[in-house]
A and B are shown apart, each in its own frame.
Chain A
Amino acid sequence: MPKIEKPDCINKNCWLAKTLNHSPYSRCQYCELKFQQCLFLHYQIISLILITFFLALFFVVEGKISELVIICIFTLVIVYGYFLNKSTDKIIKANFAQREAKLALEKLTEKLEERVDEQTKDIGEKNKYLQELLNMKTDFLRVVNHQLNTPLAVMKGYFSMMEEGSYPPDKARPAIKGGLERISSTVSDFWDAYELEGERMKMEPKKTDIAEIVNALIAEKQNLQLARERKLKIEVQKPEFEIPLAWCDCKKTAHVISNLLDNAVYYTRQGSVTVFYELIGKNYLKVNIKDTGSGVSDQDKKKLFQKFSRGKNATDLRPDGSGLGLFIAKKIIEGNGGEMVCVSAGANKGSTFSFTLPIYKNQKSTSEGEKPATREEKIVIFGKPSRQK
Chain B
Amino acid sequence: MKSKKGRILLVEDESQLVDIYHDFLEMNGYDFLSTNNIQEALQLTEFEQPDLVLLDIIIPKPENTIAEQGWEYLAAVKKNSQTKDIPIVVFTNLETHRDRVKSEKMGAAAYIFKRDCTPREVMETIAEIIKKDRERKKK
Contacts and interface: CB of A to CB of B under 8 A. Distances in A.
Q: Do chains A and B touch in the complex (CB under 8 A)?
A: yes
Interface of A: 184, 187, 191, 195, 202, 371, 373-375, 377-383, 389
Nearest to B109: A382
A167 to B, nearest CB: 24
B108 A191 contact: no
A380 B121 contact: no
A184 B115 CA distance: 8
Contacts of B96: 195, 375
Interface of B: 95-97, 100-101, 103-104, 108-113, 115-117, 121-122, 125, 128-129
24 contacts: A184-B115, A202-B97, A371-B104, A373-B97, A373-B100, A373-B104, A374-B97, A375-B95, A378-B116, A378-B117, A379-B112, A379-B113, A379-B117, A379-B125, A380-B111, A381-B109, A381-B110, A381-B125, A381-B128, A381-B129, A382-B103, A382-B108, A382-B109, A389-B121
Nearest to B113: A378
Contacts of A378: 112-113, 115-117, 121
Contact of A191 (B95, B100, B121): B95
B110 A380 contact: yes
In the A-B complex, list the 3 residue pairs whose CB atoms are closest, starting with the nearest: A378-B113, A378-B116, A381-B110
Contacts of B104: 371, 373, 382
Nearest to A375: B95
Contacts of A191: 95
B87 to A, nearest CB: 10
A375 B95 CA distance: 7
Contacts of A184: 115-116
Contacts of A371: 104
Contacts of A379: 110-113, 117, 121-122, 125
A195 B101 CA distance: 17
A182 to B, nearest CB: 13
B100 A187 contact: no
A292 B34 CA distance: 59
Given A381-B110, A382-B108, A373 B101 contact: yes
A374 B95 CA distance: 9
Contacts of B103: 382
B130 to A, nearest CB: 12
The interface centre, meaning the residue of B96, B108, B110 with most chain A CB atoms within 10 A of its CB, is: B110
The interface centre, meaning the residue of B109, B116, B125 with most chain A CB atoms within 10 A of its CB, is: B116
Contact of B97 (A375, A382, A389): A375
Contacts of B113: 377-379
Contacts of B115: 184, 187, 378
Contacts of B97: 202, 373-375
B54 to A, nearest CB: 12
B133 to A, nearest CB: 11
Contacts of A383: 109
A382 B108 CA distance: 8
B74 to A, nearest CB: 13
Contacts of A195: 96
B95 to A, nearest CB: 6
B88 to A, nearest CB: 11
B132 to A, nearest CB: 9
A135 to B, nearest CB: 25
Nearest to A195: B96
Given A373-B97, A373-B111, A382-B109, 20 more contacts: A184-B115, A187-B115, A191-B95, A373-B100, A373-B104, A375-B97, A378-B112, A378-B113, A378-B115, A378-B116, A379-B113, A379-B117, A379-B122, A380-B100, A380-B112, A381-B110, A381-B128, A382-B103, A382-B110, A389-B121
